[in-house]
Structure 1
């Protein structure tokens, strides 16, 4: 009885069998091996993406922690300045709260923030916003309304 062994459809090499009807998984080009290689590539891609996302998340976490420390220092400095003003200039807490509200309302909203205001560039007269240091049209340095403007 002359039985012909199956051949690989990719390279034509003879496939060894464990059973006449079952091809071995060790065949270099068997469909299951190709699927395994494809899946391993997908797993590697997913792992790389996950590692990249983890590194980005860590960087964001570090920036957030830095900003939190900065806010805490600013809050400490603001409290120290307020206590000095209250003691030396005889301002009251009520006057302070009213001034904060007045400044907050300058942008038309009571939102606890110094909002962006639209103004005209002193050089080219084009509209610009208060958060910019220079005019986007002509590049001239824009005046600041107050010393704490960011």
Structure 2
């Protein structure tokens, strides 16, 4: 009897874990679509995209862009239609601190020595997908 109980428990955990995977995949896909929309929006404005999903140690920056002499570190957010919190409101103090820390590390390691780059800015981007699938992008420069 004691042997069958752990096996049943392990099977249950596996089933629950695999059931949650499609939701995580859908969330990642939505995030990637939002980043695509932000990159397209910035490119249409003539902003150079330097990197996407840039890893800085254990930290990640969604989009790194060059806007003339400014390096923009951009946190991209989107929310579903039924969300109680707006996308931009979901960037809490802890997330802002992580993004800022990643940006500062990236500045010291790379951009502080790049000719023509004068400073860094931290932007926030909100992407809303309309029922038609079209994206609306709002970017707040120097958001934090």
Larger helix fraction of residues: 1
- What TM-score do the two structures reach when normalised by structure 1? 0.36
- Structure holding more strand per residue: 2
**Higher relative contact order (CA closer than 8 Å, sequence separation 6+):** 2
Report the structure number with the largest CA radius of gyration.
Answer: 1
